[in-house]
Amino acid sequence: MNEGYGALARRVQLVRALLVLPLLLLLMLAWSAVTRAATPAPGPTAAPAKTILVMGDSLSAGYGLAASQGWVSLAALRLRETRPAWRLVNASVSGETTAGGASRIGGELQRLRPAVVVIELGANDGLRGLDLSRSRANLDQMIRASNGAGARVLLVGMHLPPNFGPQYTRGFDAMYQDLAKAHRVAFLPFLLAPISADRRNFQADNMHPVAAVQGKLRDHVWPALLPLLD
């Protein structure tokens, strides 16, 4: 009697399970469809940003300024706002000479693989009265290395005060002009052109621009840099 009842109970449980199972499967399929619909389809992978590398001295490193105040930082901010596909890396070092830049350029090119290289060096060579043939050779090496790595170059020149003598100052200016012409690279003759005439635009050392005029320097470089980004 008990065994017959137990067998009947098991049959009833089996029938219930068989009835419930299709319903559970339907619910699982419906939930899977809802989950797939709620999950956004993966979008296209963003292209990596193209890099502008700035190799400069204290004038580009922002000597005596907060990190965000220099003309290079201001140019980076404008890039983020107007050219988001580009980024700017400032590898400038205060006190850098052309020899230092020439020694570092290979590593920076390999590390960053920039599409554009801005070379703003030579002022410290001139202020120390270094042999211009060596300075020229160093800048030539930097331009060749950059071009060889597939990067466009913007060469930024400097002027020396007249107390260095006419022969040296003329040779210094001609160094940049000749290199730009020989390599057919973009050229900005004098970084400080918009501010050089007013002593108030410089810090106490009379060499490094104050924060208030860094925007003018950025705006001076920008038209020479912009065509290289197309």
Q: Which residues are known catalytic residues?
A: 58, 205, 208
- Residue 22 amino acid letter: P
Measured CA angle at 174 (ends 173, 176), to 5 deg: 75
Torsions phi, psi of 198, nearest 5? -120, 115
CB atoms within 10 A of CB 209: 24
Describe the crossing of helices 71-82 and 214-225 by its angle, rounded to 10 degrees: 50
In the block, which residue shows the tokens 């001609």? 174
| Residues paired with residue 193 on neighbouring β-strands, in sequence order | none
Both tokens assigned to 157: 């020149």
In whole angstroms, give the CA distance from residue 29 to residue 75. 55
In whole angstroms, give the CA distance from residue 171 to residue 51. 32
